[in-house]
Chains A and B, each alone.
Chain A
C-alpha cells in the first residue's frame, strides 16, 4: 500500500518536472524571480536592525537571520509543493472536475495534494542554506549536532502544520465556492513567520502560538539550532502538529462527504 503511494508520488513528481522543463525560458525566469523575491524579503530585516541598535526582544541580528532562513525554507515548500496543488483543488471544486479525481482508485486527499509541484522552488532551499551559513558566521560559532537534529525533526512538524492549515483552508472552499482570495490571505498571514515570535505580544502572540502556530514553524527550529529550545517545546510541537494533522484529515473527510458533485 505504502509502496504504491510512494511510486505514485514519484510519477507525479516526474510529470511536474517534465512540465516545468518544457518551458525552459519560464523555468529560468521563475528561478530568477524567486531569487529576487528572497532578496527583497531580506530588506526589511536590514532596515529593522539598522534602526534598532540593540537586540529586538532578545534576538540579535544573527539570530533573527536564522528565523528568516527557516522562513525561506518553508516558503519554498509552501509555494513549491503545497500551494500549486491545493490551488488546483479550489479550481476543481469550482469547475466540477473534482468528480474525476474522486473516481480514481486512490485516496482523494493524496491525489489533490500531489497534483502539481513547482520544481524551481528548490532555489529557496539553497538560499536558506546560504542564510544559515551567513547567520552562523555572524554569530561566530557553529550549531551543535544535536541542535541540527532537533531542528530537522521540527522541520517535519512545521511542514505537517503548514499542510494541515492549508487543508483546513481548502475545506472552507467546499462551503464558500469563490475563495481565490483565501490563498492570498493564507500567504499574507504566513508572512508574519518571518520575525522571531517574541516580537508579537498580547492577542497576536496567542494567535500565532495556538491558532495559527507560526511561532512553532520558524522560531522553534531557529532556537533549536541555537541550542536553547526547551525539550518540552519539542514535545508540544510534535503533539500539536499531530493533533492539527488529525483535525485537518477529519475536516477533509467531512467536507468530501458533504460534497455534492457538479452533476447532482
Chain B
C-alpha cells in the first residue's frame, strides 16, 4: 500500500486498538498489577537508604524514582514479539498479510491504541508522586518536558522495534520466545527498572550506556525526576535515538527477509 494510504488508514487502526484495549480492560488491570516490581524495589531500596543515602539518592528520591519507573513502564510497553510468535505458529499471520497494509503498522497501531487507557491508569500514581514529593516528581523546565516526551517516544520505539526484530526471528526458527526471554532478563537488569543505572559499579555502568536497555526505561525516568542537566540529557537522548535508528534498520530488514520464508506456509 502506498505511503498515503497507510497514513490515511492509521487513525482507524488506532481507534481499533483503543476499542480492543477497552474490551480487554480486565486483563489489562491484571497486567497492571503484575508490574508491581517497582514497588518491591522501592521497599527494598528505601530500606537500604534508611540511614545513609545511596549515591545521591535518599529514601525520598527512591520513592520518586520507582514511582516514575512504574509510570514509564506502563506507557512504553510492547508485546509484539509474543504476538508474532503466536501468529506465526498458528498461521494467522497469513490473514494479516492479506490486508493492504503492512502488519508492522498494524502491530504498532494496536500497541499504541492501549496507551490512552494505560496513561489513565498511571495518572493516580503520578498525582500521588506529586503530592508525596512535590514538584520534583515532574520535570521543572520547559526543555525537560520536551525531552521527557522525546525520551518516552524513543523508549517505546526501542521496545517495539526490538520486539519486532526478535519476533520476526520466529519466521526463521520455530519460536523466538526463548530469545525474547533472554532479552527480557537483560532488560530487567540493565534498564534501570530494578534500580537506577547509576548504582552499578562504574565499569558496568559504562557498558550499559552503550546498550539499548537503559534507554527503554531508565532515561525517561531520569528525565522525569530531573536527574540530568541539559547537555547530559541531550547526549543521552542522542544515543537513545541512535538506537532507534539501528533497531529500525535491523527489524525492517529481518522482517522483510523473514516474510519471504513465511510464504512456504501458504502453499
Contacts and interface: CB of A to CB of B under 8 A. Distances in A.
Interface stretch (B92-100, B114-122, B194-202): B194-202
Given A40-B188, A52-B54, A181 B178 contact: no
A204 B27 contact: no
A176 interface: yes
A48 interface: yes
B195 A47 contact: yes
Interface string A161-194: 0000000000000001011111011001101100
A184 B54 contact: no
A44 interface: yes
Interface string A25-58: 0000110010011001001100110111100110
B232 interface: no
B199 A29 contact: no
B199 A47 contact: yes
A192 B27 CA distance: 22
Contacts of A30: 178
B55 interface: yes
Consensus secondary structure, chain B interface: helix
A176 B26 CA distance: 9
Interface residues on A, range: 20 to 34
B44 interface: yes
A192 B40 contact: yes
Interface of B: 24, 26-27, 30-31, 33-37, 39-40, 43-45, 47-48, 52, 54-55, 178, 181-182, 185-186, 188-189, 194-195, 199-201
Given A47-B199, A201-B47, 17 more contacts: A29-B178, A33-B178, A36-B182, A36-B185, A44-B189, A44-B194, A48-B48, A50-B201, A51-B48, A53-B52, A56-B47, A178-B27, A181-B27, A188-B35, A192-B40, A201-B43, A204-B39
